[in-house]
Amino acid sequence: MIANFKGKTAVLTGGASGFGLECARIGASLGMNLVLVDVQKDALKAAHDEMKAMGVRVMAKRVDVSSAQEMEALAQAVHAEFGAPHFVFNNAGVGAGGLVWENTVQDWEWLLGVNLWGVIHGVRLFTPMMLEAAKQDPHYQGHIVNTASMAGLLTPPNMGVYNVTKHAVVSLTETLYQDLKLVSEQVSASVLCPYFVPTGINQSERNRPGHLAAAQPTQSQLIGQAMSDKAVGSGKVSAAQVAQMVFDAIQADQFYIYSHPKALGNAQTRFDAIVHGHNPPDPFAERPDIGVQLRQALRG
């Protein structure tokens, strides 16, 4: 149980928008030291200035989380300025859709780089630092939050690359939690699995690097983008609400964090099929109209 956040240090990747920014705002209101990490230069400066105006210590770093070298430099800078962080939010993420065989190598490299390698780098660099701090101080408490998605528990069609990255983050974080329990009671972990929440991820192409530029979009990718835009746009849970859920979960040492618990019915159906050896269930069982529309659109 973590009761006090004041004066503690948090590293937040994807800290200039969406969940990262909202978590930073909560952290600032609690008097935390903040390390904001993002690739969006203008948004990062705006976030830095906003947090600074709230009277807290802020470090802002423009970092490509998929780069081992840039993340290593970040970890060194954090340690030099603040020592070991108490909280790490591996939150940076991007999205892409389409039929899984239509995604290019560049699509795979971009999503795996940000969504998975970004989390891997955060875990491999900051966890040892946090465990060392715990050894030195019996009162030290640390917590790592990795952002996955409900797509890390389900397998919705027409978004396979994204699903793969988020399933990997769930697995990585579950294993991290178990590994930490082997060696320390002072550092723990959680995985965030949001559903459709307006965070800006459905416009993440704006941050796609030139060397991984997208090819001409296929019909399935255009359809996937339109469906994602519609679902996110109609979302009733805000990023700020999810950020508060994250802080509540940290306080309670709660591992799984869901923005839309009702969606877990689909996860239960999936796991029932796995346990009983059945074929994967219809992902549109609760909304057959959406399945009909998608099949008609893809079949022309």
Tell me the pLDDT tens digit for each residue of 109-151. 999 999 999 999 999 999 999 999 999 999 999 999 999 999 9
Confidence class for position 94, pLDDT limits 50, 70, 90: very high
Task: Give tens-digit pLDDT for 74-87.
Answer: 999 999 999 999 99
Judged against a pLDDT cut of 90, whether residue 197 lies above it is answered with no
pLDDT at 216: 87
pLDDT above 90 covers a percentage of the chain that reads: 78
Residue 272's contacts (CB-CB under 8 Å, 6 or more residues apart) are 278
Judged against a pLDDT cut of 60, whether residue 157 lies above it is answered with yes
Most confident of 170-174, 204-208, 210-214, 294-298: 170-174
**Domains plus CATH for the chain?**
9-261 (3.40.50.720)
Judged against a pLDDT cut of 80, whether residue 234 lies above it is answered with no
* Phi, psi dihedral angles at 217 (to 5 degrees): -65, 140
pTM across the whole model:
0.94
Distances (CA, A) of 52 to 48, 59, 75, 296: 6, 9, 21, 51
Q: Which of 85-99, 111-125, 155-169, 186-200 has the lowest mean pLDDT?
A: 186-200
Sort strands 256-258 and 187-193 into parallel, antiparallel or unpaired.
parallel
Q: What CA–CA distance (Å, rounded) separates 10 from 33?
A: 6
Which residue, 143, 122, 243, is CA-closest to 194? 243
Confidence class for position 1, pLDDT limits 50, 70, 90: low
pLDDT at 57: 98
Quote the crossing angle between the two packed helices 160-183 and 118-136, to the nearest 10°.
Answer: 10
Asked if 117 contacts 65 with a C-beta cutoff of 8 angstroms, the reply is yes
Helices (H), the chain: 18-29, 41-53, 68-82, 105-111, 118-136, 160-183, 219-233, 239-252, 264-276, 288-299
Q: What CA–CA distance (Å, rounded) separates 172 from 120?
A: 8
